Structure formats: C-alpha cells, structure tokens
Amino acid sequence: WVGIWQTIGAGHVGVVTRLGAVNRVVTPGFVLKIPLIESIHSMETRTQKEQVEASAASQDLQEVKSTIALNFHLRGEKAVEVYQNIGTDYLDRIIAPAMQEAFKATTAKFTAEDLIGNREKVKEIAYSELRDRLSKYYIVVDDLNIVNFDFSRDFNNAIEQKQVAQQNLERTKIEARSKTMERNLRN
C-alpha cells in the first residue's frame, strides 16, 4: 500500500507520468497511482508573485534600472503542455526572461524623463507586452507593478539642476511681475 496514493493540495494540479511519459492531469485531492511506474508532479495554479531586478536603456539611451513585480498563474487545464514543453521550472526558464525582455522593449519607447511622468502608461504597455509573451506558454498575467525607476547619478543630477533652473526662472518672473505692479501702483 505504500506509495500507491498521493494527495494534491488545493491550488495545484498533478501531472501524472507513467514511466516518464505524461499520462494525465489530476485535480486536487486524493490520487491513486501505480507504484514504481507512475509519478505525480504537483504544479501550482494559484496566483504567484515573481520579482526581478531589470536593467534597460531608455529611448534617449539613459540607463534605467527597476524592480518589477509580477502576479501570474498557470492555466491548470494546460499543465500537461507546460510540463511536457517547459517542465516545472517555468519561472526561471520562461517568466523571468520574459519580464526582462518586456521591460527592455517598453523602456526603449520612452525617454528617461517620460518614464517618470508616464508611469501608468509604461506599466500598461509592459503588462500588455508580458501578457502576450507568456500567454503562448499558458501562463496568465494577473498584474504587473513597476516598483521603482533608478537612473544614473549623472542623470539624476541633471534632472535636479533642471528643476532648480525652472524654479529660479519662475521666481525671477514673479519678482519681475511684482516690481512691475509696484511701479504701476506708484504712478
């Protein structure tokens, strides 16, 4: 009786192999198997999270680094295809590289400054890109978050200098208007 059954937990499906060949998919619960001939490989179908550090270049060739968090799940009814074509290590083989490529493809469409100002649009494009890349592997993208954008120190300094220059210009305009108003009031 030892080894003739196995349980598949909630949020998983089991891929049953017979002498190494995929035989069937089983749903959560108690599963009977032929000892020494059949094996059951559990594959999670619940939403999972993967987070990667990504690096790319913007349209204006600025280095962009980011942390990307992806929520995804495996289509349980397609577990046999995933197991046969990719295996259980689909996270490292498919998802992580796809996240890197989607980030690179998306950031290349924006200047570094636009990446900061259009974060929601960047997220939407990256989400769509990633969804399209992963759907052919029966992996569903539930959500994507771009946690941060980091740029080179030189770029950050240039942005800060630009902000200071804009603030100085605005202050000069206000002072000039104020002086004009004072002169008009005196006359």
The string of pLDDT tens digits covering residues 116-150 is 889 899 999 999 999 999 999 999 999 999 988 88
CA 174 to mean position of chain CA atoms:
45
The answer on pLDDT for 154 being more than 80 is no
pLDDT in tens, 101-122: 999 999 999 998 888 889 899 9
Contact in structure between 30 and 46 (CB atoms under 8 Å): no
E strands, the chain, are 5-8, 12-18, 21-26, 29-32, 38-44, 48-57, 63-74, 139-151
The 10s digit of each residue's pLDDT in 40-69 is 999 999 999 999 999 998 898 888 999 999
Burial grade of 93 (CB within 10 A; 0-12, 13-18, 19 or more): middle
Q: Helix or strand or coil: residue 71?
A: strand
User: pTM for the complete prediction?
Assistant: 0.77
pLDDT of 156 over the 70 cut: no
